[in-house]
Amino acid sequence: MKNILVLCTGNSCRSQMAHGYLNHFLDNRKVKVYSAGIETHGLNPGALAIMKEDGLNIDHHTSNHVDEYADIDFDYIITVCDHANENCPYIPSKNALRLHHNFYDPSKLVGTDDKKHAAFLKAREEIKAYFKEFVAKHNLV
């Protein structure tokens, strides 16, 4: 079984959406997906709502700190924001392929409900496309 870690700053929004899509695209018998942050901020309600609009419920996810997974040997470690990529602690996985993609952060937008929705939709679609391609490129299905 392969292990994938998706890492961001607070494990509240972008990494949670990525975790949801990876679970959706992958066969859970072959791959175990984890998400974590270098801090924990709880689940972002906007991320939960935008995922539900695409038919994925991530309400059961938890916001976890990367230290909780120190004993897991990851095959892939994917940072989804520049802050986590630059400040990530050492993760002792022997042969992990480390990847980075800085996704747009919708949680920072201040504005109308329509503008906030559009921001979460933009981030969701970027994350969905990236991880669909990741799964295909790395033959994980």
Which residues are catalytically annotated?
Answer: 8, 81, 88
The per-type count for the chain, helices as H runs and strands as E runs, is: 4, 4
Adjacent-strand bridge partners of 6: 35, 78
- Report the distance separating Cα 125 and Cα 57, nearest Å: 16
Q: Under a CB-based contact definition with an 8 Å cutoff, are residues 42 and 58 in contact?
A: no
CA 115 vs. chain centroid, Å, equals 22
